[in-house]
Every structure is written in C-alpha cells, then in structure tokens.
Amino acid sequence: MQIQCECGTFRAQLPNFPRNTPGRLACYCDDCQTFAHHLNRADLLDSAGGTEVIPVYPAEIRIEAGREVLRCLRLSPEGLYRWYASCCNTPVANTRAGFPWAGLAHRVFTVKDPSYLDRTLGAIKSRIMGRYARGKAPSGTADKIDFKGFITVFPFIAKGLLTGKAKRSPFFAEDGRTPIVPAIVLSLQERKAIRQRLGF
C-alpha cells in the first residue's frame, strides 16, 4: 500500500497494510481540530470537526520520497509529534517518541482512491472526545475515551510494545527520541488564538 500527500511529493509504503491496524478511528478533540486549522486544512475534518486516523506501527512505514518536505509540529512542549507535508499542508501522522503508534491521517490513503478505506477497512470503529464536536457529533461518539475506544486500540498497542514495533521509526533518529526534523512548538498565544476562534 502506498500513501502520499495531496500533491504527491511525499510518498511512503506500508508493506504490511492492512494487517495489524485496529482500523479507522475518529477524534473530535480540541487539539486535533487546532492542528487542522493551523495548517488551514479544516477541509479534512468531518462535518462535526472530527479527524480520522488509521493507526499503523512506525516500524512498518517506509518513506520513499519527500522526506525533505516533512515538518513536525507540537501544540505544546509535551504534545504529540504531529507530522505534515509542507508542500501542500497535508497532515501525515501523529506520533509519540518510543511508542508503537503512528496515527496516519485518512487523507494520505485516499488521495488517489477516495473509496479505498471504505472498501478495505469498512466503517469507522470508534469515535472519541465528542464533547469538542462542532454541533452534534455522530451517533455513538463518546464524550471522552470510552471502553469501546480502549478495547479497540489496546491489543494493537500491547502487541506493539511486546514486539518492539516502535523501533526504527522513520520519524525519529536511531535513538528513537529525536525527531528527524526539529519540532516546531506553538506558543501558548498561538494555540489560544486558534482555540478562541473555534470557541474552545
């Protein structure tokens, strides 16, 4: 499976996809919405402000082209490492250093084939953080993180920790902690300005 940014400058291979992934997930939290709006890519949010991600193991991502356009943003000094392609501001992945999780943005799967995820993985399995949704969240969305959301991803995380799937991440140096490009950290004022605009 090849994924790519909107313009195709960034491309990566997922040799084991769709094996291992827990499936499609949606998050409506204020951080995910803030990230999308910072990139001016609110068009990728669903009608209630949700961000769809498909988790894969970092060790199972092979960057083929466009490494030079990858940028890393953190909404706070301790926040997620949020990766995007600077050529077209396409969100790519959310990661944590040393953790077996790369939440790939749905758009990188659907640039060439909008129906790919529907055909391959079916419907979204879990929706969380609905208290931040814009208007009415889709039916079944949990206000925070519910048991359904937990059991959807826990086996994936546990297997990844046991099998070392966080190692050899293409987003971090050999030490597993240093991002391959310096992370840009939003200031408190920048973060507040976006959230105030969104009504948070």
Question: What does 111-127 look like in DSSP terms, one character per residue?
Answer: SS-TTHHHHHH-S--EE
User: What are the C-alpha distances in Å from 171 to residues 52, 145, 167, 182, 195?
Assistant: 20, 26, 10, 11, 27
Return the pLDDT at 2: 95
CA angle, corner 86, sides to 80 and 89, nearest 5? Answer: 80
Q: pLDDT by residue (tens digit) across 59-70? A: 999 999 999 999
Return the pLDDT at 18: 95
Confidence of residue 36 (pLDDT cuts 50, 70, 90): very high
Confidence of residue 167 (pLDDT cuts 50, 70, 90): confident
Return the pLDDT at 163: 94
Domains of the chain by residue range: 2-198
Mean pLDDT of 67-78: 97
Has residue 166 got a pLDDT over 90? no
* Percentage of residues of the chain with pLDDT beyond 90: 98
Return the pLDDT at 183: 97
Return the pLDDT at 121: 97
Mean pLDDT of 66-90: 97
Confidence of residue 25 (pLDDT cuts 50, 70, 90): very high
Residues 118 and 54: beta-carbon distance below 8 Å: no
Has residue 169 got a pLDDT over 90? yes
Q: pLDDT by residue (tens digit) across 100-120? A: 999 999 999 999 999 999 999
Q: Which CATH class is domain 2-198?
A: mainly beta
- DSSP readout, the chain? -EEE-TTSSSEEE-TTTTTT----EEE--HHHHHHHHHTT-GGGS-TTS-EEEEEE-GGG-EEEE-GGGEEEEESSTTS-EEEEETTTTEEEEEE-TTSS-EEEETHHHHSS-TTHHHHHH-S--EEE-GGG-SSSPPTT--SS--HHHHHHHHHHHHHHHHHTTTTT-TTB-TTSSSBSSPPEE--HHHHHHHHHHHT-
Return the pLDDT at 100: 97
